[in-house]
Amino acid sequence: MFENGQYAIDYDDFERKVADGVTMLILCNPHNPVGRVWTKKNHLGEICMRHHVLVISDEAHGDFVYKENKHTPFARVSKEFSENSITCTAPSKPFNIAGLQMANVIIPNDSIRKTFTHALNTLYLGSSNTFGFLAAETAYQYGEEWLDELIDYIHGNLEYLTNFIDTELSPIKVIHPEGTYLA
């Protein structure tokens, strides 16, 4: 839902929907395409635990958050949430290496991890490519300064876009993202 100039979660509606037999939630954090950085103040975790809903948290944009915001991975909110989640991250979004097809899947719960690994191996998807692995390692090890500069640059583009739309295309409004490079 949209309230007070930003997207929000209608927790009552969400709980009604998951109570009707939902078994899995895919959470995009930061959200793509609205750019919302969900905070750990949300109630999603408690609702999912209450209704036995596994959370797959897509956090591929987690490294791309504007300085006034803080990304908190879903699994870091609590030990219980960590054990009821699968976290997906990737260097593809922040470091622009999507073509190398490298991602990370973090599954703290042994039982869920074994099920996931079995499914990957059954489908022959359990291996990664060397170039993707090396690019990810290099990006994470040496790319922090570059990423900080990129975020500042994209934020400048966002400000330019906002000014242009405010002055030239009124009444259209830009909803300021808290993370990601999308507006």
Q: Beta strand pairing status for 6-7 and 85-89?
A: unpaired
- Sequence-ordered alpha helix ranges (H) in 20-169: 44-50, 79-83, 92-95, 110-122, 130-142, 144-168
Encode 6-28: b = buried (16+ Cβ within 10 Å), e = exposed. eeebeeeebbeebeeeeeebebb
pLDDT digits (tens), the chain, 183 positions? 888 888 889 999 999 999 989 999 999 999 988 899 988 667 899 999 999 999 999 999 999 999 889 999 999 999 999 999 999 999 998 999 988 888 999 999 999 999 999 999 999 887 778 999 999 999 999 999 999 999 999 999 999 999 999 999 988 988 889 998 888
pTM value surpassing 0.75: yes
Tokens of 65: 């958050």
Which helix or strand (DSSP H or E) is residue 12 part of? Answer: helix 11-18
CA–CA dist 19, 30 (Å, integer): 25
